[in-house]
Amino acid sequence: MAFLDKIPYWILIVIAVFMLLAPFRPMPHVIEKLIMLKNGMLTKPIDIFDLSYHVVPTIILLLKVYRDYSK
């Protein structure tokens, strides 16, 4: 997990926000996929991959924050 220490916060924040909001129109994929998950329609592997693809930068950012504040 030492690679997290080498990544600056500003880069992770920019990437996480961009990935959470992409595409900007008509609706961000994360919101669309979370609605599908809530309705029980998130069954296709491509949709599950798409949701995880858009959320991974945010998870990495949260891991970095946790790692820095738990020292």
Average pLDDT over residues 36-46: 93
Q: What is the DSSP string of 1-70?
A: -THHHHS-HHHHHHHHHHHHH-S-SS--HHHHHHHHHHTT---SHHHHHHHHHHHHHHHHHHHHHHHHH-
Confidence check: pLDDT of 1 > 80: no
The pLDDT confidence band at residue 18, using thresholds 50, 70 and 90, is very high
Q: What is the pTM of this model?
A: 0.84
In the chain, where the domains are located: 3-69
